[in-house]
Amino acid sequence: MRYLPNSCLVFFFLFFSLFHNLSCASTEKELGWCQAQFQCGNITAGFPFSGGIRPQLCGHPLLELHCFKNTTSIIISNNFYNVHNIDQTSNTLRITKAELQSSFCNGTFTTATLPPEIFELLPAYKNLNVFYLCDSKLPYRSSYTCPGRGPVSVSQNLDYQNSCQGSFTMNVPKSYVPEEKELNLTQLENTLKEGFEVKVKIDEKACQECSSSHGICGFENTKQVCCNEASSSVCNTFHPSNGKFLNYQTSSLTSYTEIENLYSP
């Protein structure tokens, strides 16, 4: 790669300038679509979400919605969640980890971490530990024997850390308390079906400010931006420290310089 011939560099330059121009043109078209709403079943969502007819740059990269058979879903940390409800005024979502929605015992038993920079679990919910690969000779509180998996125990603390080889956490309402002796699987599955609520941590004021000055709210990767309706290649980055949008313009040189640096000795 280091000794790439010059003709190759030229090719890269042409390719990337062409690519950049193409992406600029489509950016202008796409930004217009940011005023459209994501629609699926009875769920409607605008900023800070993308998906459906809302292009990716209209929403945060971690907030891309999908629609399949009138059911809305979102992928968080490689886990598939069904979205039951989106409250656009409070920016909260009620979601269920899809694999836990049908059969608890058939799940993959992995912890689904909510990226803290964008999601916040509402105070009505908590983390619950699930222990598995447990020594079947020992007794466990709130346990259930999953077919082919052996005893599984649900606990609010880490008391079975040493007697079980596997564990993961899941989100349940604070009102859910595992029973003392045997786990009521039906009750747990019903609880998981209801899902849990998360708040999306987004600077709403910045977007309101942007909209009121006839701008279009969008994202440059994870950076919140406000784009000019008339000339959408000009976007302002929201600067959290002073609460103001800073002017910036995407430069076609950036992509070439980056490529050049990659191949320079």
Kindly report the number of other CB atoms within 10 A of residue 217's CB atom: 26
Beta strands in the chain (DSSP E): 38-40, 43-45, 65-68, 71-76, 79-87, 92-97, 119-121, 125-134, 143-146, 150-155, 164-173, 196-200, 215-220, 223-228, 234-239, 244-249
Measured distance CA(29)–CA(244) in Å, rounded: 26
Alpha carbons within 13 A on the beta-carbon side of 34: 29
Part in contact with ligand NAG (CB under 6 A); list of ranges 75-83, 100-108, 162-170, 192-200: 100-108
Amino acid at 134: C
Please tell me what DSSP assigns to residue 115: P
Q: Does 187 bind ligand NAG (CB under 6 A)?
A: yes
Q: Does 137 bind ligand NAG (CB under 6 A)?
A: no
Part in contact with ligand NAG (CB under 6 A); list of ranges 9-17, 101-109, 114-122, 216-224: 101-109
Residues 29-68: x/- map of binding to ligand NAG (CB under 6 A)?
A: ------------xx--------------------------
Taking the least distance from each CB to ligand NAG, the nearer of 189 and 204 is 189
Part in contact with ligand NAG (CB under 6 A); list of ranges 49-57, 118-126, 163-171, 182-190: 182-190
**Residue of the chain from 5, 69, 221, 265 that contacts ligand NAG (CB under 6 A):** 69
Q: Does 88 bind ligand NAG (CB under 6 A)?
A: no
The residue number with the shortest CB distance to ligand NAG is 103
| Alpha helix (H) residue ranges in 144-221 | 185-194, 204-212
Taking the least distance from each CB to ligand NAG, the nearer of 184 and 252 is 184
Q: How far is the CB of 260 from ligand NAG (least distance, A)?
A: 49
Part in contact with ligand NAG (CB under 6 A); list of ranges 13-21, 74-82, 99-107, 150-158: 99-107
Measured distance CA(183)–CA(137) in Å, rounded: 18
Burial class (CB in 10 A: 0-12, 13-18, 19+), 19: exposed
Which residues bind to ligand NAG, rule: CB under 6 A? 41-42, 69-70, 85, 102-103, 106, 184, 186-187, 190
